[in-house]
Structure formats: structure tokens, C-alpha cells
Amino acid sequence: MDFLIGWIAIIPNYATPLVLASLGLIICERAGILNLGAEGLMAVGAMSAAIAVLFGNDPWAALAVGATAAMALAFLFGVATVVLRADQTLSGLAVVAIGLGLTGVVGRPYVQKTFVGIPNLGDIFALERDTTLGRIVAVQDPITLALPVTVGLLWWWLMRSRSGLRLRAVGENPAAADVAGVDVQIVQLGAVLASGLLCGLAGAYLSVATSHVWVEGMVASRGWVAVALVIFARWNPARALVGALVFGSADALVPRLQAVGADIPVYLMMTLPYLLTLLVLVIGSISGRRSGEPAFLGRIYLRQDKH
Amino acid sequence: MLDAAFLVRRQQPGLFLSALSYAGGLAFGLAISAMLLVQAGVPASALIDEFLVAAFLTSDGLSQTVTAALPLILVGLASAVAMRVRFWNIGVEGQLWLGAVAATWVALHEIGPESLRLPLAFVLAALAGSGWIAISLVLKQRWGVNEVISSLLLGSVAFLLVQHLLFGIWRDPANSFPVTAAFPQASRFSALGWGQLHAGLFVVALIALAVWFLLERTRAGFYADAVGLNRQAALATGLPVRRTLAGLVLLSGALSGLAGMVVVSGTEHRLNQAVGNGYLFSAIVIAYLARAKPFWVVVVALALGAVFTAGNVLKVFYGISEGMIVLVQGTVLISILMAQFFSTYSLNRPS
Amino acid sequence: MTASTNKHRTRKCLVAITAALLASAATGANAFTLEGPPKVAFIYASSAQDGGWNEALEAGRKAVEEQLQVPVAVTENIPEEATKLRAAIDLYVKRGFNIIVGTTYGYSAPMAEAAKAYPNVAFLSASGTNNGPNMESFYARTYQGWYLAGVAAGQATKTKKIGILAGFPVGVVNWDINSFALGARSVDPTIETVAVFTNSWWDPVKEGQVAQAILDQKADVLATNLSATSALDAAEKAGVPSIGFQLDMSHAAPKTIQTSVVFRWEKYLVPTIKEIIDGSWKPEEFGAFEGLDKGVVDLAPFGPGVTEETKAKIETARQAIIAGTIDPFQGPLKKQDGTVVVEAGGKLDDAALWSMDYFVEGITGTMPAKQ
């Protein structure tokens, strides 16, 4: 029982950065722009936010700094892919390289400097940690708490609002959207910036909310997991939350099994989240669901293609 | 935005224009990179010195460049072959790991007679690589699972399998480090006496030639281009679309697997946790910049090998960090990508 | 593939190692002489300012530069690949560098090949596994420091449960964990040690999360065997005493830290490089492997919560280890599953230390992969 409580309590901490990044990618890809750059955007977010705190800023302001810095890199990606119609797959990889490289160069003096980050609920409200509920709630932070609401709002906006519909139309059929008076490029650029914002926030969460320290490479492939989760979620924000929770719970389980001395092949166990994701994709396909992939994802729209 | 009204895809971008925009993008990216490097403390004169002289014109530098290029050529070809049929192989590193595992298995467990060790490792590494990508292929063809996600996830799985072996049955028994014992001589490509260059050179050259022949001179290559250009049209004209796709995707995996074998049998002579890192980015960049043409893959891979050689020099003598070198690669890449705009589109008013 | 072929290979491999060692011992009888003026180069696998392993070596490098007044060059981020490392070594040697220090076990084998190619260049390999007439591997008996840390933890715990997180299950890490547990059990033999591998050298996010997993097991002392400080940060938040590693980590947990097990590489590097320059250096046959006595491994200053009684106990243990009256791995020593490793009266030799691939009795944890 104790084991279960501890495990459940920590899962949101694993899932939150994955959810934030996937949400950003979903918005971007729903507008038809394939974004593989999450790892680089998150790296920039993590480093910038950490530097902001180290320069004496409030951790909450630091989150905004991280998000803004990642948006700047996303803007470069947007200029390349939306304005200049460069190849999206490769531009995404270039963003990863630039993000990882830049953080290595700029962040060098700030490695391993511990700082005070975002407090968890237990600290804010001086919660009792003796009860089951107390133990679960105390280790959460305000960001994880706000996450379900964020996901709900984003889902509503994307699937139910007029502007969300417009964004999806751009990703499904830009020619039709164009005819209907939507400025395709402005929408796509906005979507790319949104992905920068949310991926930056995800990265900032890693440094400012979870580990309270920055080191080079600390995103450690979580951006790639987010890329995979988007496909897993069939480009739906609500399912991204579920996917991240599944992935996070599998990930959180491995060290906890070690801590009780379970006799398991650890590295093979660590493949489970990946295999599980693949399995769910296959099951989804067998049960006849469409992949949900935006029809125009990764393709290049020109007004001349309208007719 | 405004330009959308005037932007028109060029029907047939001229060779001159293509080359110009390519060169322009490269020059712009290099200029920015040079500024970054000078800013970081590398004297401007040293840049030309290290890139041209150290990487190509000295005997040591050239042998390093060629040695580094060997696995790059293979992963570049792997990526190019898949790109030809529009299959995104994001799992190059996974297949490379599996190929390295196969070669390591033959070497450590001394499978078969000594004279056949390398050929056996060659075959098994190719099979291991194509076996690994076969999963993505089946998932895609049978259930429509996106190959980007499946090959990406399987790449992570492959690395964990390697960890399982390196910390399990293959760990160095003397100190528990995740490094296998050194390969016996029979499982190493023999040294050519020029730097670290080894007989894998000939193997890679033959493979490159074979892939070039396949893609540029045979019917399979023609099918591949037809499938890549327009799958529906290819199906309609009765081409063997599934077979072509499957064949080339499996070939792509095999080539990645062979890259793993060339690394462990050629230069490392053991398996460790570092041999497969960083090849995905290189593979895709090489294939794209070479427009998926085998000849140009070899050229670009050599150029990238030179970048690694020069990068090593910059690290050693100018204290340039890995971050800076990765940043430079990203900058040059995005600059070239953005410059394609000028040869692909023209700003005409629609008639 | 069967276990027997594998065992066969292992035995053959050991024979080969022994033969090589004998050969090197024979040729290593003469002191090594340097050609040309001394020029030292340090090669790191990642950033030298990593706040941990590399930074501890970097402190040693600075001491060499200051105390010996020799030029010392630094290269960072050379991956653990033979091609890239060899290229860097070649470049240095071509420009007259003749003392090369490599800073990770992954460099050891390629360094050994370079050492054969350049017999007049001295090679020092941190946590390396190869030695020869012009090459010496060096490491510290970190387990001695961890034994003292275990004493501190054993004194501090009330739940009789302490925890440690570590990177990968390699010999040099396993002995730290085991010795930590044994140190604690020297205070109270009922103490249980929870040990978890993060399976990464470099992931502060995961380290914080793993720390929480250990705290959830009711451990009330938390030690980290890794470079990042996020585990100590978690301990500070939970008000749990903590122990750091490699450098003094007190800045991450000023209130709750007890001490850190630290390297003082200058105590090895300065005298060794001086010997190389003087022409009196003879590489150790099995590598340099110093401990508390030479001060290569040590404890950082104690935190505010450490009692005088604890300090005295640690000092007693330190003196006993230096004097040789206590060895952390003396018999009777049992594995986690109860099998006896050393009978009473015996102790583990160095070869058995390096190949340690098990937890000792009193540890709760999982070895990630079975042999």
C-alpha cells in the first residue's frame, strides 16, 4: 500500500513536462507543421529559466523567461518552415542541434548551481504528510495541479472553438482554409510559437520545478518521448495527458521496484514504456481508429496549389 | 501573409540556380559559424588552416577524415535508401546498435572458423539491422503505424538491450565496466598502416558502389523513385510497390547494421556504451544534403568526416566545446535548408 | 551461445591479462624517461566544469599547473570512441605534449594502444584498467571514504534505514555502495541500506525522482554517488541528513548535509607528474590505487547536524583504516543472498574489489542485469 501511494504520488512529476511539450507539438502539428525540435526547445527553456533564477529572479518569472527563450528559437524554426518552406523534418533536427549546442555554450558558467525553485504544495501550505492524501498532495506542485485544467482548456479551444477549428483546418486542408479567408501562414507561425512556448515551459519545469539545478543535456531525450506521445495521442490533448501518465507511471516504477529489491532485469523493464506505446498504437489501428494525423502534416502549401 | 500570393513553385529549377542557392546557404551558414568561432576565441586565420589543411591536406588529418567517414557513408546510404521511397528511418542508431551487437557476438563467442569470422559478422550485422527495421516495416504495412514513432521508440529499446548485455553477460569480468573484452584479431579489420584506417575501407567502398548501381542503374532503383515520387501512381501503373518499399527499407536497416559492425570491428575492437551515439543526426543530414544520391552521400560523408577532424582540432587546441560544434552544425544545416527557398520558388504574380 | 563458452572466454581472457601484466612488469623495471621539456595535456569526456567527477580532476590539474610550473593544456568533450580519442592524442603528441592524462575508463583501452605507439610519452588513465611501461591507471580507494560516510549515516539514522543512489553497477560504484552499508552496520548491524541505480551518470531530474523513491521507503539518511545535487536538494526539503560525493556538496543542502566523500586528485597527480618530469617514475604494475592514508580520498568538512560523538567515531574508523586494523571488506562478508564472500579473518584483494558485481548483506536493491 505504501509502495502504491508513493508511486502514484510521483507520477505527475514524471508526466508534467511530457504533457506540456506534447501539447505544444500538438498545436503545431494540428496546423500542419511537423515539429521534431522539442528536445532543443526544451533544452533552451530549461537553461534560460535556470539562469533567470540564478540571476535572482522569482522562479515563476523564470518559467516565463524559459518559455520566451524557447519561443525565440521556435521563431527561427517558423521562419524556416512557414515563411521559407524549408523541409520540416530536417529543420526540426537543426533546431535540436542549435538548442543543444547553444545551451552547452551559453550555460557553461551555470552548471550545477543549486537554486531555490518552485515549491511543492507541501511547502506552500505546510501540509501534514502523515495521511495518505497528505502524502500524495504534498509532493505535487502548482503546475501539475493546474495541468488537467490546462489540458481541458486546450482541448476545448482546439476542438470546439472557432479559432481552434481554423487552426485545424489549416492542417487538414490549407487550400480550403485559405479560400475561407484564413491567413494560413499567420496561423502556422502562431502555432509554431505556441509549441516553443509550451516546450520551453516543459524544459523550465525540469530545471526550476523538479531538480532546482541545471546541467548540460538534462532534458535527456524527454523531448523525443514527447514527439512520440503526440502520435500516440492521435493529436488529441486529452489523450496526450493519458499517454504521458501511462509513460510516466511505467518510468517511475523501475527505480521503485529497485528500492524494494525486486528481482527484475532493470534494462529490459526500462523498455516497457516504449513497447507499451507501440502496442497501444497497434491496438488502436486494429480496432480501426484512424491515426488522426492532420492530412497536410509536413507538406508545403502554396496558394498556387489551390486549384 | 503577402508573399503567399506571389509565391510560385519553379517547374524546373536550373542546375545553376540550385547550385547557387545551395552554395549560398552553405556560405552563409559557414560565415555565421566562423563568426561564432572567432567570438569563442579561435583566430580567423586558424579556421582555414584547420578545416582545409588539417582535415584534408595532412596525412594524419586525411586518414582521420576517411576513417571517420566510413560509418558515416553507411548510415548516410541507409538514410538515403529509405528516403528514396519516402520512409523516415529515425531508428538508424537502433539498427546500428543491433549490428554492433551481432558483430560483437561473433567476435566474443568465437563463432565459426577464424577465417570466416568477419564475413559471418558482416552477414549477421546486416541481418540484425534489417531485422530491427523489419518491425517498423511490418507495423507500417500491416497496421499503418507511423514509422517515425516506431523506429524512434525501437532505437531507445535497442540501446537498452545493449545496456542489458554490457552490464550482464558481456561486462568486463575484471572490473565490471560496461565494456566488452577486446575482439580477437580474427574479428578485426586489419590495419592499413595509415593512421587508424582499416580494411573496412574496401568493404564500404564496395557497398557504396553496389548501392549506387542498385539505385542508379537497375530497375529496382527506377521503381524506388516511382514509389517515392507518387505511391498511388506507382500502384496504378502496376509497379511492385510493396516489394520495392520492403526491399529498400530492409536494405536501409542492413546498411545501418553494417555501420555498427564497421565501428566495432574497424576501430573500437570492443562494444561499449558510446559507439552508436550521434549517428542519427549525421545520417539524415548526409542523406538530405546529398539529395539521397549515393555518389553525393559519399562526398558529403567525407565532408562531415572532415568537420569531425577539424572539430577535434578546434577542441584540442582552441578549447572549443562540443556545444559549439553542435551549434555550428545546426546553424549550417538550417542555413542551407532556408536557402533552398530561392531555387525552389519564384516570386511571380500568378497569371 | 552457452554459459560455458562464455566462462571459457573469460578464463582465456584472464590468462591473457596476466601474461600481459607479467610482460609489462618485466619491461617496466626501468624508470621512464621523458624526451623534451614536459608538456601536460588533460582530456575530458565531457565538460571539465561538470560540478562532479571532472571538476574534481580539474582541481588536480590546476594544482599541477601551479605547483609544478608546467604548461597544462585541456581538451573537453572528446567522446569515448577510439577514433576520436586517438586523434586528440596524436595532435597533442605531434605538438610536443608528452604527458597525457585521460579522465574516464572509456579511454583506457585506446590509451593503452597509444602508449604502445608512443613509448616516450607518459599516459595516466583515471579509473582506467590498463597499465604498462609508460602508462599508469589511477583511482582512489573511494570505498574507504564511503565506509566513513556509512558510519555517519549509521549514527544519524533513527528508522534504521538509510539510502543511496548511484549511476551504473560498475565495480567502482558497487564497492562504494557496499562499503557505505558496511560502515553503517558497524554502528548498528540491523541497519538496512536501500540502493537504487538511476542508470545514467547525468540526469538531475531522475536523480531527484529516485531520491524521492528512496525517501518513500522510510530511509532517513540519503547519500548520492552521483554528480548532480538534486538528490541532496530533495533531502534538504524533507529535512533528512544527506551525504554528497566527489566535491563538497554542502551548498546544495546547507542545513542537513553531513559530509561529502571527496577526491583530492592533486595528492596523486602532483607527485606522480613530478616523478615523471624528474625521471624517477615507475608505473605501478596494477595501477595506482591510494586511499585515506595518502588523502586522495577524504571527507569534506562536516555539516552543522553532525554530533561530536559521530565525529569521534568517524575519526577512530579513519585511523583504524589507515593503520590497517579495519578493512571495510574484511571477513566475515556475505552477499545480499547470504552466500559467503570472505570467511572471518580474510579480506578481499584488489582484483576481487574491481570485479565486485554484487550487493552485500543488509542492502535492499536490484542488480540491473545478471551475469
Please state the domain count of chain A.
Answer: 1
- pLDDT of B341 reads 86
CA angle B126, B129, B130 (to 5 degrees): 85
Average pLDDT over residues A20-45: 97
User: Is A307 inside any structural domain?
Assistant: no
Per-residue pLDDT of A73-119, as tens digits, reads: 999 999 999 999 999 988 999 999 999 999 999 998 898 888 988 98
Domain with A295 in it: 2-302
Q: Which residue has the higher pLDDT, C64 or C6?
A: C64
- pLDDT of B151 reads 93
Which residues from chain C sit within 8 angstroms of residue B179, using beta carbons? 105-106, 109
Chain C residue closest to A115 (CA)?
A: C252
Residue C1 has pLDDT above 70, yes or no: no
- pLDDT of B19 reads 86
Q: Do C170 and B321 touch (CB under 8 A)?
A: no
- pLDDT of C21 reads 47
Distance, in Å, from the CA atom of B56 to the CA atom of B58, rounded to the nearest integer, reads 6
- pLDDT of B5 reads 56
Q: Do C47 and A206 touch (CB under 8 A)?
A: no
Average pLDDT over residues A267-283: 88
Q: Do A285 and B143 touch (CB under 8 A)?
A: yes
Per-residue pLDDT of C285-294, as tens digits, reads: 889 999 999 9
Instruction: Give the number of B-C residue pairs with CB atoms closer than 8 Å.
Output: 123
Could you tell me the pLDDT band of residue C174, with boundaries at 50, 70 and 90? very high
User: Is A95 inside any structural domain?
Assistant: yes
Q: Which residue has the higher pLDDT, C34 or C276?
A: C276
Q: What is the ipTM score, two decimals?
A: 0.90
Q: Looking at the complex, report in whole angstroms how far the Cα of residue C72 sits from the nearest Cα belonging to chain A.
A: 21
- pLDDT of C26 reads 45
DSSP B231-244: HHHHHHTT--HHHH
**Nearest CA-CA partner of A294 in A168, A200, A154:** A168
Average pLDDT over residues B70-86: 96
User: Is A56 inside any structural domain?
Assistant: yes
Instruction: Give the chains touching C; criterion: ≥3 Cβ pairs < 8 Å.
Output: A, B
**Nearest CA-CA partner of C252 in C232, C226, C224, C223:** C232
C79 interfaces chain B, CB cutoff of 8 Å? yes
User: Which of A96, A216, A267 comes nearest B323 by C-beta?
Assistant: A216
Residue B163 has pLDDT above 50, yes or no: yes
Per-residue pLDDT of A190-205, as tens digits, reads: 999 999 999 999 999 9
Residue B300 has pLDDT above 90, yes or no: yes
Long-range CB contacts for residues B305-308, cutoff 8 Å, separation at least 24: B305/B55, B305/B64, B305/B65, B305/B66, B305/B67, B305/B68, B305/B69, B305/B72, B306/B51, B306/B55, B306/B56, B306/B65, B307/B55, B308/B64, B308/B65, B308/B68, B308/C84
DSSP C252: G
Average pLDDT over residues C245-254: 93
- What CATH number labels B71-319? 1.10.3470
Instruction: Give the chains touching A; criterion: ≥3 Cβ pairs < 8 Å.
Output: B, C
Residue C119 has pLDDT above 70, yes or no: yes
Portion 195-254 of B in contact with C at CB < 8 A: 195-196
Distance, in Å, from the CA atom of C188 to the CA atom of C194, rounded to the nearest integer, reads 15
C-alpha dihedral (A110, A115, A118, A121), degrees to nearest 10: 150
Q: Do C237 and A123 touch (CB under 8 A)?
A: yes
Q: Looking at the complex, report in whole angstroms how far the Cα of residue B231 sits from the nearest Cα belonging to chain A.
A: 15
Lowest pLDDT segment from B43-47, B120-124, C62-66: B43-47
User: Is A240 inside any structural domain?
Assistant: yes
Average pLDDT over residues A154-170: 95
A293 interfaces chain B, CB cutoff of 8 Å? yes
Could you tell me the pLDDT band of residue B204, with boundaries at 50, 70 and 90? very high
**For the ranges A55-69, B278-292, C25-39, the one whose mean pLDDT is highest:** A55-69
Average pLDDT over residues C239-263: 95
**For the ranges A212-221, B119-128, B213-222, the one whose mean pLDDT is highest:** B119-128
- pLDDT of C11 reads 37
Residue C2 has pLDDT above 50, yes or no: no
Residue A307 has pLDDT above 60, yes or no: no
- pLDDT of A282 reads 86
Tell me if the bond preceding C332 is cis, omega within 30° of 0. yes
Residue extents of the structural domains in chain B: 71-319
Within chain C, strands assigned E span 40-43, 72-75, 99-102, 122-126, 135-140, 161-166, 192-197, 222-224, 242-246, 257-263, 288-290, 297-299, 333-334, 340-342, 363-365
Average pLDDT over residues C177-193: 97
Q: Please report, for the domain that includes residue A238, its CATH number.
A: 1.10.3470
Q: Do A108 and B321 touch (CB under 8 A)?
A: yes
The residues of C whose Cβ lies within 8 A of any Cβ of A are 46-47, 49-52, 55, 163, 194-200, 202-210, 212-214, 216-217, 227-230, 232-233, 237, 251-252, 336, 364-366, 368-370
- pLDDT of A306 reads 63
Residue C192 has pLDDT above 50, yes or no: yes
Residue C17 has pLDDT above 70, yes or no: no
Q: Looking at the complex, report in whole angstroms how far the Cα of residue B184 sits from the nearest Cα belonging to chain A.
A: 28
Average pLDDT over residues A49-61: 96
| Domains of chain C, first to last | 3-141+265-290 (3.40.50.2300), 142-262+329-365 (3.40.50.2300)
Distance, in Å, from the CA atom of C28 to the CA atom of C286, rounded to the nearest integer, reads 12
A42 interfaces chain C, CB cutoff of 8 Å? no
User: Is A114 inside any structural domain?
Assistant: yes
* Residues facing residue C124 across a β-bridge: C101, C136
Q: Which residue has the higher pLDDT, B349 or B261?
A: B261
Which residues from chain C sit within 8 angstroms of residue B68, using beta carbons? 83
Amino acid letter for position C33: T
CA angle B270, B274, B278 (to 5 degrees): 130
Instruction: Give the chains touching B; criterion: ≥3 Cβ pairs < 8 Å.
Output: A, C
Could you tell me the pLDDT band of residue C29, with boundaries at 50, 70 and 90? low
Could you tell me the pLDDT band of residue A11, with boundaries at 50, 70 and 90? very high
Instruction: Give the number of A-C residue pairs with CB atoms closer than 8 Å.
Output: 128
Portion 196-255 of A in contact with B at CB < 8 A: 216, 221, 224, 227-228, 231-232
- pLDDT of B253 reads 98
- pLDDT of C28 reads 45
B347 interfaces chain A, CB cutoff of 8 Å? no
CA atoms within 13 A on the CB side of C266: 12
Q: Looking at the complex, report in whole angstroms how far the Cα of residue C141 sits from the nearest Cα belonging to chain B.
A: 14
